[in-house]
Chains A and B, each alone.
Chain A
């Protein structure tokens, strides 16, 4: 599943970046901010799927953009012992490229770095804490509803977070200033 997503993401990224130079999407150039709500999952078996929220902001120009964001996940609870869990928070900085179809539909790819902070809690007691800087990438497909507003389905992949990889799937809302 992990490799499949990786291949799909790379293909989408290459396509989007190739088209981006030609794209003159209807996204408003300038600063933007957004938020997403969805689910996170780990490639490590034995953990429950937590909710996730993502907030971000950046600058867009001519189909390209640069942004920073913060993802906070509910606890990755161990299936066999719900009082034990991983608590993960991730900051990311990424470059993104967008291709817009028919002035409304868009496809987007992003590539960047993520700084994660993970705590391991065993029966209410923290037994480990780690942080690191690793690559991240993602895609989004959505609708540009107006010059200022878009909604989309966003998928982000964070590689090698405390011994696993984390995928985040979000319903995403963005506003351009």
Chain B
């Protein structure tokens, strides 16, 4: 995630040497690197997000879907396997609840967690699947080999115990973060994203490895906000994640599933 954020800021900050785009038409799937995420944020629906690059993780050329190529997220079997018969109207309407076209467009809630610059991101929301049921993201192509079967199961949900949204926290003391259903062996990432009334911003990321998920951590005083005179709103996010299985037709990439809980606190200047 840290790598993603760094690259995202590079693309955002550099207009001259920034990221370029290439059409997916004629581009073999074996040359596409996929970064895919599915997440339940708080008690909401499942957010699926994807970004495709030409070549590798560090390539700055994004793939723009054109010419009949689609990214489709689903909570049932892979998209290519579905067929209906008999009374078509009802089953088609039901299927559209489980199979959703991922589109590039306005940013969805929580999007900045995975792709901070939100450049060339495709996303959609889905109903919450049953426990242990995978979420699929498929690249379906017209005239090229498809990659329909990337999948990931959401980690178990949890609750953020502290901090709670609306709290006011002193900038000179560590921020205690605690969550329920710990020690299950999942990787955790804590993020403090600060936006201040004078326009300044900062991001602090702290990762917790699987064997150290004790259900609590602390964000160090001074890391929560930039040194400005303004009051800052800090979004504290706790992300429990795990890797899924990426379709082998891609050049490479990853699919991760997340349970994310957030709280927005206020941190006044010292």
Contact = CB atoms under 8 A, between A and B. Distances in A.
Interface of A: 42, 44, 46-47, 76, 78, 80-81, 83-84, 86, 118-120, 122-125, 127-128, 130, 162-164
Interface in B174-213: none
Contacts of A44: 89-90, 93
Nearest to B97: A80
Contact of B84 (A120, A123, A164): A120
Contact of A128 (B70, B84, B97, B140): B84
A81 B70 CA distance: 14
Decide if the interface of chain B is mainly helix, strand, loop or mixed. mixed
A127 B89 CA distance: 12
B93 A47 contact: yes
A164 to B, nearest CB: 4
B88 A123 contact: no
A77 to B, nearest CB: 10
The bracket for how many chain B residues form the interface is 20 to 34
Contacts, number: 72
Decide if the interface of chain A is mainly helix, strand, loop or mixed. strand
A162 B182 CA distance: 50
A39 B92 CA distance: 21
Contacts of B99: 122-123
B100 interface: yes
A80 B95 contact: no
A148 B84 CA distance: 47
Contacts of B97: 80
Given A76-B89, A120-B89, 9 more contacts: A44-B89, A44-B93, A81-B96, A86-B92, A124-B70, A125-B79, A127-B82, A127-B95, A163-B90
A122 B92 contact: yes
B88 A130 contact: yes
A74 B128 CA distance: 33
B101 interface: yes
Contacts of B140: 123, 125
B85 interface: yes
10 contacts: A76-B89, A78-B93, A86-B88, A119-B88, A120-B89, A123-B72, A124-B70, A162-B88, A162-B89, A163-B88
B56 to A, nearest CB: 29
B86 A130 contact: yes
Contact of B95 (A83, A119, A122, A164): A122
B70 A127 contact: no
Contacts of A47: 89, 93
A39 B82 CA distance: 30
B68 interface: yes
A130 to B, nearest CB: 6
